[in-house]
């Protein structure tokens, strides 16, 4: 018997946990077996009253409960675009600590949503569809696009965004005449030249684009899975967009819908699970 855990980083906002649960429910229906929505941290601070009375599960608490019920095989599907240290460092650290209390048990970790160097074409398709949906809803042509992610101190995570931006630029160039201007930005980054690989902050990039051309609307391609402190209604990104629009009358930013609500995400997760099931030997270490 195994437990499949759909893992995200976690948030103190209920919408994030509810989104994780929706994705896990859709995945379970697709697989025909349970998929447990589990956050690494934070979500246990959400009042259960905001979660339909069901408290959120966090990683260590969930594993302790299941280990005490004698479950010994766990498969983790990371809801992360790239090789986050949350998966490569935090998870093995907690597993090692739990093994001291419960003895040996197996944890296998699937690859991230967009493993490099091959990347994930389905993720490109999701972002493209979100861009075209936004353009259609707003009645605009997709002429200026900015791909934005959370930001990471790990270059390999930023490279996922760069890979996706290159693929999007190529696809949009094939489909559009005149050409589309596609750029990148990061929601937050650490200070210092050693983190310049992250690229420009979203607010700085938006203000520069508004100064260059206030009349051409911009589609913000959201490389985020679920609503939370940054993405979604009332998040930091919405506040930044409103601030820039207020300071540059006539400039309009249209964020796309998030990746987590797209049905094709389940195709990616199902494929990651299939990779694990058909592997000749079990993976016991996370992707480096």
User: Across residues 132-141, what is the average pLDDT?
Assistant: 96
Q: Give residue 71's Cα distance to chain centre.
A: 28
Alpha-carbon distances, residue 239 vs 71, 187, 207 (angstroms): 44, 12, 13
Alpha-carbon gap, residue 87 to 154, rounded angstroms? 13
Which is it for the CA torsion 5, 8, 9, 12, positive or negative? negative
Three-state SS for 160? helix
Please give the pLDDT value at position 174. Answer: 79
User: pLDDT band at residue 280, thresholds of 50, 70 and 90?
Assistant: low
Burial of 186 (0-12, 13-18, 19+ CB in 10 A): buried
User: Which tens digits make up the pLDDT trace of 261-278?
Assistant: 999 999 999 999 999 888
User: pLDDT band at residue 142, thresholds of 50, 70 and 90?
Assistant: very high
* pLDDT score of 230 more than 60: yes
Alpha-carbon gap, residue 112 to 132, rounded angstroms? 25
User: Which tens digits make up the pLDDT trace of 68-97?
Assistant: 999 999 999 999 999 999 999 999 999 999
The token pair that represents 71 in the structure block: 């479950």
**% the chain with pLDDT above 90:** 90
What class is the 121-257 domain?
Answer: alpha beta
pTM of the model: 0.93
Return the CATH number of the domain spanning residue range 3-109+262-278. Answer: 3.40.50.1400
In sequence order, which residues have a C-beta less than 8 Å from that of residue 216 and are 6 or more positions away?
Answer: 143, 144
User: Which tens digits make up the pLDDT trace of 162-191?
Assistant: 999 999 999 998 776 677 999 999 999 999
The token pair that represents 4 in the structure block: 């499949």
Three-state SS for 32? coil
* pLDDT score of 250 more than 70: yes
Please give the pLDDT value at position 248. Answer: 98
The token pair that represents 261 in the structure block: 């609500």
Q: Domain locations in the chain?
A: 3-109+262-278, 121-257
Q: Would 3-109+262-278 and 121-257 be classified into the same CATH topology? A: yes
């Amino acid at each position: 018997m195994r437990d499949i855990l759909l893992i995200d980083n976690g948030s103190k906002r209920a919408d994030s946990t509810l989104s994780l649960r929706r994705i896990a429910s859709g995945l379970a229906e697709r697989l025909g077996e349970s998929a447990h929505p589990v956050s690494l941290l934070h979500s246990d601070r959400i009042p259960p009253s905001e979660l339909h009375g069901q408290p959120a599960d966090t990683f260590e608490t969930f594993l302790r409960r299941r280990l005490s019920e004698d479950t010994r095989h766990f498969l983790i599907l990371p809801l992360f675009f790239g090789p986050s240290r949350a998966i490569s460092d935090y998870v093995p650290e907690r597993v090692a600590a739990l093994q001291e209390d419960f003895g040996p048990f197996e944890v296998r970790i699937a690859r991230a949503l967009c493993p490099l160097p091959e990347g994930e074409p389905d993720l490109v398709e999701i972002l493209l569809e979100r861009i075209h949906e936004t353009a259609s809803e707003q009645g605009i042509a997709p002429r200026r696009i900015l791909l934005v992610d959370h930001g990471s101190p790990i270059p390999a995570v930023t490279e996922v965004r760069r890979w996706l931006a290159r693929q999007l630029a190529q696809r949009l160039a094939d489909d559009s005449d005149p050409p589309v201007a596609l750029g990148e930005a990061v929601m937050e980054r650490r200070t210092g030249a050693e983190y310049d690989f992250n690229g420009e902050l979203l607010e700085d990039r938006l203000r520069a684009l508004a100064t260059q051309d206030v009349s051409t609307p911009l589609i913000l391609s959201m490389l985020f899975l679920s609503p939370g402190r940054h993405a979604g209604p009332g998040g930091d990104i919405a506040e930044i967009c409103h601030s820039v629009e207020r300071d540059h009358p006539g400039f309009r930013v249209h964020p796309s819908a998030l990746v987590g609500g797209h049905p094709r995400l389940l195709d990616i997760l199902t494929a990651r699970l299939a990779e694990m099931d058909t592997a000749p030997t079990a993976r016991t270490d996370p992707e480096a």
